[in-house]
Amino acid sequence: GQQVMQIPQYQHVQEGEDFTTYCNSSTTLSNIQWYKQRPGGHPVFLIQLVKSGEVKKQKRLTFQFGEAKKNSSLHITATQTTDVGTYFCAIGDRYNQGGKLIFGQGTELSVKP
Amino acid sequence: KAGVTQTPRYLIKTRGQQVTLSCSPISGHRSVSWYQQTPGQGLQFLFEYFSETQRNKGNFPGRFSGRQFSNSRSEMNVSTLELGDSALYLCASSPLPGSTYNEQFFGPGTRLTVL
């Protein structure tokens, strides 16, 4: 079935350092979503990317969608302890007419103050 | 607006039993999806309901079933529980069907432990 590979699995950073997580697909995507899950919490929607080469910013977070629409990244500038959590990308299953989200394995971010 | 609510929040069952989990979507949301989250398999799609109809189903055995009521509330049932069914079960709602294109609002989840 369709898959999306997300790396790295874990990232430990010192507060103030930058952080990036990547998602890669072998097939062209129609769009990609990003979610954040705090420890003990539930996934919270961050953003959706649709256009080839799209770049969107939310304060210190920058989201990119590749030109070929096969990869995406989330970059956090100058991490803070509030950024701790697991970041997931999610794509649609092309065989289910948009009704099934496939999540990456997630990147768990820990921030040392 | 109140968020997605799920009941119960925690559940302990033994192998062979069955369990029913409940989800109330955000008011006005008619699409409800269910996900299973485990450390090993991550977040996996179970099914999606819209207007009381199952639109999509994930790759889970028939022991996993669900339904949606006319008020959009949804339940999922797992029969003949196995140890591997221990997981966090998350419900997500959105105004429209097709979770690929619509922001999903997740509930806090039900933590199921099978002994």
pLDDT in tens, B12-22: 999 999 999 99
B12 contacts B80 by C-beta, under 8 angstroms:
no
Q: What residues pair up with B77 in beta bridges, in sequence order?
A: B20, B65
Q: How far is CA A81 from CA A20, A22, A85, B44, B115, in A?
A: 15, 21, 9, 28, 36
- B99 and A101 within 8 Å at the Cβ level: the answer is yes
Burial of A72 from C-beta contacts in 10 A (0-12 / 13-18 / 19+): buried
Residue ranges of chain A whose CB lies within 8 Å of a chain B CB: 1, 30-31, 33, 35, 41-45, 48, 88, 90-93, 96-106
Q: How much is the pLDDT for B111? A: 98
- B42 or A95, higher pLDDT: B42
Q: Which of B97, B106, B107 lies at the smallest CB-CB distance from A99?
A: B97
Q: Output the six-digit token pair for A1.
A: 């079935």
Summarize the confidence of residues B24-45 as an average pLDDT: 95
Residue pLDDT, tens place only, A88-108:
999 987 665 556 889 999 999
Q: What residues pair up with B72 in beta bridges, in sequence order?
A: none
Q: How much is the pLDDT for B92? A: 95
A79 contacts A19 by C-beta, under 8 angstroms:
yes
Residue pLDDT, tens place only, B50-61:
999 998 889 999
Instruction: Indicate whether B67 pLDDT > 70.
Output: yes
Residue of B nearest to A103 (CA): B43
Using DSSP bridges, classify how beta strands A43-49 and B74-78 pair: parallel, antiparallel or unpaired.
unpaired
Q: Output the six-digit token pair for A2.
A: 């369709």
Q: How much is the pLDDT for A95? A: 63
Q: How far is CA B68 from CA B18, B42, B53, B96, in A?
A: 18, 25, 7, 14
Summarize the confidence of residues A30-51 as an average pLDDT: 96
Q: How much is the pLDDT for B95? A: 87
Q: How much is the pLDDT for A40? A: 95
- B104 and A88 within 8 Å at the Cβ level: the answer is no
Q: With contacts defined as CB-CB under 8 Å, which chain B residues touch A107?
A: none
Q: How much is the pLDDT for B56? A: 85
Q: How much is the pLDDT for A99? A: 65
B positions 15-54 inside 8 Å of A (CB): 33, 35, 42-45, 48
Summarize the confidence of residues B109-113 as an average pLDDT: 98
Instruction: Indicate whether B27 pLDDT > 60.
Output: yes
**What are the two backbone dihedrals, phi and then psi, of residue A31, each rounded to the nearest 5 degrees?**
-165, 170
- B101 and A97 within 8 Å at the Cβ level: the answer is no
CA distance A78 to chain B (A): 27
- B59 and A92 within 8 Å at the Cβ level: the answer is no
Rounded CA-CA distance B95/B53 in Å is 15
Summarize the confidence of residues A20-30 as an average pLDDT: 94
